[in-house]
Amino acid sequence: MKFLENGTVTSPQGFTAAGVIGSVKASNTTKRDIMMIASDTLCSTAAVFTKNLVKSSAILVTKKHIENGKAQAVIANSGNANTCNADGIEKAERMCELAAENLNINKDDVIVASTGVIGQVMPIEPFEKAVPEIAKLMSKDGGTNAAEAIMTTDTVKKEAAVEIELGGKTVTIGAVAKGSGMIHINMGTMLSFVTTDAAISSEMLASALSEAVEVSYNMVSVDGDTSTNDTLAILANGKAGNDEITTRNADYAVFTEALTELCKKMAKKLAGDGEGATKLIICSVDGAKTKFDAKGAAKAVICSSLVKAAIFGSDANWGRVLCAIGYSGCDIDVSKVDVSFVSDAGEIEVCKDGAGVDFSEETAKKILLENEITIKVSLNDGDGKAEAYGCDLTYDYVKINGDYRT
């Protein structure tokens, strides 16, 4: 397995993309905000969506379109979530129609997604004007422009690709994602599209995606708010020429491992670029009675506002870590818990067997000043392990969200 330098969603064979300035928000005249991704052949497809009862109309349309496990293109926008709108489904369907007309494919083979402000009517005119232009610009080099088009409060584009060997054939998996705030993924506003030239059935694709999501995207939290628009979709066009994966065989295992590692890489990008964030926080838990307990403990720690604030201040306030573990609801013997803080500047143990140990505050501060911090938790009670991904809580998070709509 090899991550590609400058890998994008168009790295796999047969995929093209583009993004343009469509001015979905009338005030936007400088940033790409409408994009499309397409395969030159029909793809096996799977997707997972937000568990929020309030869902974007785009999700409702996409669910209907991929009931047969097939899709060929994605159209997505930033600037408007198309959520809680009386004409939302009509607008989402029209976006698919426009994509289909200009790509010469069936409209039911189009996935649609939106991100932005909730409850504002989606203008269709920008799409009527922009989609024909996007179709003309579709290219192998368009992945990065597509990545920009779905950014909202994101500060960096999020894209990557990985290569593996399946039956002597080189298979590539590419991904693009956006998400910075309203992220507490449970399948923030999080959109992610994954492409691959692997030959794999839609059933096995759905299984692999489900496995990958549980230990990657679903272990991310920026602010505890589960978005109305979370969508993660994967398209596989078979262009690599490997024997089609139709069972959970050895090739399925290799593919799923690579997909999982790619999703973890994207999950870290999402967490590290949380709104106002200055640091990526990884909580690594081992020694839990079960994997369920490990996941619960790790997620509780990275969701804790007090932990997040302490990391922002480079304060080794380990008691907040134990506090979060204690209310996680997991089966944990707190008298066995060890905690360390780890970064490129070193590692320092701050808690042993549920009690504080002497440590240098100066050394701890140095470790916590780095921009990637791992909170290492050993529960010493079993073989369960998990990682969760979050970020620090800063003054800028409130500034960004205090006037996000206006």
Q: 70-77 and 231-236 as β-strands: parallel, antiparallel, unpaired?
A: unpaired
Distances (CA, A) of 293 to 204, 341, 365: 27, 21, 29
- Sequence-distant (≥ 6) Cβ neighbours of residue 94 within 8 angstroms: 124, 127
- Measured in residues, the chain has a length of 406
CA distances for 139 relative to 10, 35, 51, 132, 197, angstroms: 8, 12, 34, 14, 16
Residue among 10, 83, 115, 189 flagged as catalytic: 189
CB of 256 within 8 A of CB of 357? Answer: no
CA distances from 110 to 99, 113, 116, 238, 281 (A): 7, 10, 20, 18, 36
Residues 186 and 161: beta-carbon distance below 8 Å: no
Dist CA 15 CA 5 (whole Å)? 18
Q: Of 302, 318, 306, 312, nearest to 361 (Cα)?
A: 318
399: number of Cβ within 10 Å: 12
User: Is 153 a residue of the active site?
Assistant: no
The catalytic site residues sit at 189
